[in-house]
Amino acid sequence: MLECMKCGVLAASDKWLERTLVHGLVGGGIQAAEGGSFKDGFLGAAVSEAVSCKFSTPLNEKESNFKFVERTAAAYIIGGTASAITGGNFQNGAVTAAYAELYNECVKHAMELSEEGLQFIAGEENFRASTYKDQAGNGTIGYGHKIQPGEKFGTVNEGQALDLLKTDAAVAEKAVNRNVKVSLKQNQFDALVSFTFNVGETRLSQSSVLSNINSGNFNAATSSFALFNKYRPEGSNGLVVSTGLTVRRAHEANLFLNGEY
């Protein structure tokens, strides 16, 4: 999942580890075949591939890359020196330390919903102080918070509702980070979080919106938002077009394409 590093949404996922191991194994094999150290080749190849992907992050993250390079370089020097002082190989210690710094940087570098994105979702959900049933019959309160088993609400104020929204949006945020494999701008990420907040991770993962994005076809992805404007009424087996969802999908598509909150 090194592609995720290009957009700063890398999480410590199985796909990321798999891709890293493949590059490391190839590098180690080549090094060993030439009479060198498999370990040096393994670590060197993994770091080289990961660093090359790191520099493909979006423009709004370029500034942080300089500090990333500084920390990685410092880790390389310190790790190599420490290894040499203790009688080991400078390169082994240096590359290992640099790789550790790289990994630590990547696992914490997931994208986050912006404040504008949070307010966008709040605007789409609309505030309700008391419990009500949404179109699908789910008990709901605040800014679209679906009431979970064991939760009991009388009324909530806007501050409390916003806290619930932040918690719920964080779930959607993680889902987008897990599923998107390409570089996103902040407005595109925020639009997808709003979409996922509404439809859920399962529908996101199976959607043409996601498949088009991961294929790099952002124009088609923008058009795909409009397809998700239906809901299943409580007690019904069929889907019904919702005017509210139609408007919401248009707003999300506009945010995704034009950055208009």
Question: Rg (Cα) of the chain, in Å, rounded?
Answer: 23
Please check whether residue 71 is in contact with residue 105, taking contact to mean a CB–CB distance below 8 angstroms: yes
- Domain C-terminal end among 84, 107, 130: 107
Q: Which of 85, 107, 129 is the last residue of a domain?
A: 107
pLDDT at site 178: 94
Q: Are 218 and 212 in contact (CB under 8 A)?
A: yes
11 class by beta-carbon count within 10 Å (0-12 exposed, 13-18 middle, 19+ buried): middle
Q: pLDDT at position 71, please? A: 62
Q: Per the structure block, which two tokens stand in for 221?
A: 């992805």
**Listed residue (50, 157, 159) closest to 105, CA to CA:** 50
Long-range contacts of 255-260 (CB under 8 A, 24+ apart): 255/120, 255/187, 255/190, 255/191, 255/194, 256/187, 256/188, 256/191, 256/192, 256/218, 256/221, 256/222, 256/225, 257/218, 257/219, 257/222, 258/187, 259/185, 259/187
**Long-range own/partner contacts, residues 190-193 (CB < 8 A, 24 or more apart):** 190/113, 190/114, 190/116, 190/117, 190/120, 190/255, 190/261, 191/117, 191/225, 191/252, 191/253, 191/255, 191/256, 192/256, 193/113, 193/117, 193/121, 193/169
138 and 236 belong to one structural domain? yes
Within this chain, do residues 97 and 123 fall inside the same structural domain, yes or no?
A: no
CATH number for the domain spanning 169: value is 1.10.530.40
Does 35 share its domain with 90? yes
pLDDT the model gives residue 72: 64
60 and 141 together in one domain: no
The span from the CA of 211 to the CA of 209, in Å, is 6
Largest CA-CA distance found in the chain, in angstroms, rounded: 73
Q: Do 90 and 13 belong together in one domain?
A: yes
193 shares its domain with 157: yes
Structurally, the chain folds into a number of domains equal to: 2
Same domain? For 88 and 122 the reply is no
- Cite the active site residues: 125
Number of Cβ within a 10 Å radius of residue 66: 9
Domain ends where: 57, 79, 107? 107
| pLDDT value, residue 119 | 98
Whether residue 250 sits in one domain with residue 153: yes
Does 223 lie in the same domain as 134?
yes
Residue with tokens 């501050």: 159
How far apart CA 38 and CA 31 sit, in angstroms, is 6
Question: CA-to-CA distance for 196 and 199, rounded, in angstroms?
Answer: 5
Pair (127, 238) in one structural domain: yes
> pLDDT at position 233, please?
86
CA 75 to chain centre: 27
Q: Domain range spanning residue 223?
A: 115-258
pTM of the model: 0.62
* 166, burial (CB in 10 Å: exposed 0-12, middle 13-18, buried 19+): middle
Q: Mean pLDDT of residues grouped by 10 in the chain (261 residues)?
A: 40 50 54 57 52 44 54 61 64 60 58 97 97 91 96 95 97 96 95 97 97 96 97 87 97 98 97
129 and 231, same domain (yes or no) = yes
Classified as helix, coil or strand, 241 is strand
**Two structure tokens written together for 17:** 């580890």
Residue holding tokens 């938002």?
A: 225
202 and 136, same domain (yes or no): yes
